[in-house]
Amino acid sequence: MKVLITGSGGQLGKEWVQFCEQNEIHFSDFSSSELDITNTSLLRQTILKHQPDVIINCAAYTKVDEAEEEKIKATQINATSVHKMATLCNELNIKLVHFSTDYVFSGNVEDQSKFPDGYPENHERKPVNEYGYSKYLGEKALEESGCDYLLIRVSWLCGKYGNNFVKTMLRLGKKMDNLSVVDDQFGSPTFTDQVVKHTFQLITANESGIFHISSEGIISWYEFALEIFKEAEINIELKKIDSSAYPTKAKRPSFSKLSTQKISNIDGVSILNWKDGLKRLLKQL
């Protein structure tokens, strides 16, 4: 199997590179500065040169608040370029693995009681911010392309590379005596090593379509921070606040838990509890 990884400089892309190296998978990788996926001719040229069996697209616009003002840029990267990549994959008979987000759902408080185990893959998509809308458009483009695809949705992504909530809490915990974290947004973290492991299981099982990858359990950001400090043995006073006390440009969903029932039915896939995932990550860090 020959794999081509785009966006290999990000936290998920770097995890894929490490996984391919450790498992002796034949791969080529490009950071977003090396391969701008919005440049269609360069994208085509790169794909034709390397002739992969699978493209793993980790290139994405991920700045949630900035997307409110950079709608065109977010849409170009998260939707238009996905459409072009999927069209090329359909033409050249390449499987495309693309990553999306919990932010394609509305995240209403009412949905938490409707879906105690999280949103199923086929739930209606109704994003509440521009970032979520750009990812939704990318999903639609992929589905309508006719190519063989895996669409993997993740939430609260964190890993040993790049920037994420766990690393931010560890950094702030070392220099602050007290910290306020929102306690009215609920979901579950997704750890990058698990994303790569389970996505590869789906690829080797020749699965297609939409799958959610996340952790077992549902928590608030406050509860997540509490556990990070407990496991890292950082003594800090943590205060609960409502989202209204921490206004952001982009609206955040109140509920963004993703159900992992579908992927749990795939042979060999075992979903980690979020606490176990956090312990693993802290050891890696």
Per-residue buried b or exposed e for 241-266, using 16+ beta carbons within 10 Å of the residue's own CB: eeeeeeeeebbbbbbbbbbbebbeee
**Backbone phi and psi for residue 277, each to the nearest 5 degrees, phi listed first:** -65, -40
Assigned token pair, 182: 């929102």
Count CB atoms within 10 A of the CB of residue 220. Answer: 17
Whether 41 maps to a domain, the answer reads yes
Contact call for residues 55 and 96 (beta carbons, < 8 A)? yes
The catalytic residue positions are 131
pLDDT tens for each residue of 190-235: 999 999 999 999 999 999 999 999 999 999 999 999 999 999 999 9
Contact call for residues 202 and 261 (beta carbons, < 8 A)? no
H or E segment and range at residue 28:
strand 26-30
Alpha-carbon gap, residue 284 to 266, rounded angstroms: 27
Whether 176 maps to a domain, the answer reads no
pLDDT surpassing 90 at residue 271: yes
**Confidence label for 142 from pLDDT (cuts 50, 70 and 90):** very high
**What is the pLDDT, as a whole number, of residue 123?**
98
Whether 82 maps to a domain, the answer reads yes
Write down the mean pLDDT value for the chain: 97
Alpha-carbon gap, residue 263 to 201, rounded angstroms: 10
Domain that residue 12 falls in:
2-164+189-215+256-272
Whether 181 maps to a domain, the answer reads no
Whether 182 maps to a domain, the answer reads no
Burial class (CB in 10 A: 0-12, 13-18, 19+), 116: exposed
Measured CA to CA in angstroms, residue 99 lies from 120, 225, 231, 232, 237 at distances of 16, 25, 29, 30, 36
In the chain, what percentage of residues exceed pLDDT 70?
Answer: 100
Whether 183 maps to a domain, the answer reads no
- The whole-number average pLDDT for the span 260-278 is 97
Number of compact structural domains in the chain? 1
pLDDT surpassing 90 at residue 91: yes
Whether 18 maps to a domain, the answer reads yes
Alpha-carbon gap, residue 218 to 50, rounded angstroms: 41
Query: For the whole prediction, is pTM greater than 0.85?
Result: yes
pLDDT surpassing 90 at residue 164: yes
pLDDT surpassing 90 at residue 246: no
Whether 209 maps to a domain, the answer reads yes
Q: CATH no. for residue 128? A: 3.40.50.720
Q: CA gyration radius for the chain?
A: 19
